[in-house]
């Protein structure tokens, strides 16, 4: 592997179609497509300021690097990436990619990141700002996520999340086969129109959670008092610890809680309208 150390590159495609390179303490200045159509690239302690540096790259490691605001849309149409200990201030990262490993990464403008990706494995990721992270992606494993981005995890499939704190709005819409463990989910309209969404040991806050859900499962979950009109037009099995303020028009299944503030079953209830709602026997 060729080592390029303590160098600067700028302009159009300075390292186009390179292979087997180790970039160490390299700065990519203003320009476009610095490392395009490349294979087997390692970047350590590098700084990326130009647009689109990693497009159509196959097999690469990015460690202890920094992506400036100008390094937007940096990682597209690529595969087999390992990224560690990196800070990203640029938006629209990770698009149309396969096989991504993320460890200890902070993204400070999470706008439209991880779109249409397949095979994402995440440990200790922090997301700040932006909208629609993870749109249309699938086969995602997460252990350690903190996010205040809006509209996270929409239209995703086959996802497992552990130890997350997500503060958002309209999260997990139209998802399929998603399980979330030991997490805090804060925001309005959680999990609407989901299919096979399962929450285990989670705390939920925000208005009108988990409506229009199909085959929803909650195990040992708690709700903030502000949660109301929960489960409207959902089919579900729910084990709720503590109190839930209001349940409205669930379609079918079973809901068990230690205390239920109120239940709304009105003329808009949809058939079969036979959900069992009960207080846990002590």
**Statement: residue 194 has pLDDT above 90:** yes
Architecture of domain 1-90: 3 Solenoid (2.160)
- Chain position carrying tokens 């503060």: 167
Average pLDDT over residues 84-113: 97
Q: For residues 208 and 189, is the Cβ–Cβ distance under 8 A? A: yes
Cα 129 to Cα 113: distance, rounded to the nearest angstrom: 11
- Chain position carrying tokens 């709005």: 169
pLDDT for 206 equals 92
pTM for the model: 0.94
Taking only the tens place, the pLDDT of each residue in 226-256 is 999 999 999 999 999 999 999 999 999 999 9
More confident residue, 169 or 58: 58
**How many of the other CB atoms lie within 10 Å of CB of 244?**
28
**Statement: residue 114 has pLDDT above 80:** yes
Nearest 10 degrees: CA dihedral of 150, 152, 155, 158? -170
Cα 1 to Cα 96: distance, rounded to the nearest angstrom: 27
Q: For residues 62 and 82, is the Cβ–Cβ distance under 8 A? A: yes
Question: Is 66 exposed, middle or buried, given 0-12, 13-18 or 19+ CB atoms closer than 10 A?
Answer: middle
List the one residue out of 112, 163, 119, 111 whose CA is nearest residue 137. Answer: 119
pLDDT for 281 equals 82
* Torsion 44-46-112-37 (CA) sign: negative
pLDDT for 71 equals 86
List the one residue out of 155, 196, 158 whose CA is nearest residue 174. Answer: 155
Least confident of 94-98, 166-170, 229-233: 166-170
Percent of the chain with pLDDT over 90: 93
Going from N- to C-terminal start, the domains of the chain cover 1-90, 169-282
pLDDT for 117 equals 98
**Terminal CA-CA length for the chain:** 66
Q: For residues 241 and 259, is the Cβ–Cβ distance under 8 A? A: no
**Statement: residue 169 has pLDDT above 90:** no
Cα 122 to Cα 105: distance, rounded to the nearest angstrom: 9
Q: For residues 31 and 53, is the Cβ–Cβ distance under 8 A? A: no
Residue 216's pLDDT band (cuts 50, 70, 90): very high
**Statement: residue 138 has pLDDT above 90:** yes
pLDDT for 232 equals 96
Taking only the tens place, the pLDDT of each residue in 42-92 is 999 999 999 999 999 999 999 999 999 988 899 999 999 999 999 999 999
**Statement: residue 282 has pLDDT above 80:** no
List the one residue out of 70, 167, 71 whose CA is nearest residue 128. Answer: 167
Taking only the tens place, the pLDDT of each residue in 7-44 is 999 999 999 999 999 999 999 999 889 999 999 999 99
Average pLDDT over residues 122-142: 97
């Amino acid at each position: 592997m060729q080592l390029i150390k303590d160098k600067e590159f700028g302009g159009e495609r300075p390292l186009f179609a390179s292979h087997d390179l180790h970039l160490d303490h390299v700065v990519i200045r203003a320009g476009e497509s610095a490392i395009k159509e490349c294979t087997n690239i390692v970047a350590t302690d590098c700084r990326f300021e130009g647009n689109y540096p990693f497009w159509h790259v196959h097999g690469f490691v990015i460690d202890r690097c920094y992506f400036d605001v100008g390094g937007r849309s940096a990682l597209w149409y690529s595969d087999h990436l390992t990224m560690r200990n990196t800070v990203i201030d640029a938006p629209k990262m990770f698009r149309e990619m396969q096989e991504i490993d993320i460890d200890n990464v902070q993204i400070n403008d999470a706008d439209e990141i991880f779109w249409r990706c397949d095979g994402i494995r995440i440990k200790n990721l922090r997301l700040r700002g932006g909208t629609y992270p993870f749109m249309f992606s699938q086969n995602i494993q997460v252990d350690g996520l903190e996010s205040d981005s809006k509209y996270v995890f929409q239209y995703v499939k086959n996802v497992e999340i552990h130890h997350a704190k997500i503060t958002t709005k309209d999260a997990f819409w139209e998802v399929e086969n998603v399980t979330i463990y030991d997490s805090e989910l804060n925001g309005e309209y959680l999990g609407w129109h989901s299919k096979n969404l399962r929450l285990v040991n989670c705390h939920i806050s925000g208005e009108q959670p988990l409506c229009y859900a199909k085959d929803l499962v909650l195990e040992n979950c708690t709700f903030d008092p502000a949660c109301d009109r929960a489960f409207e037009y959902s089919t579900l099995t729910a084990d709720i610890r503590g109190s839930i303020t209001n349940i409205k028009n669930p379609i079918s299944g079973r809901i068990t809680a230690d205390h239920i503030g109120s239940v709304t079953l009105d003329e808009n209830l949809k058939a079969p309208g036979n959900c069992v709602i009960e207080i846990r026997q002590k």
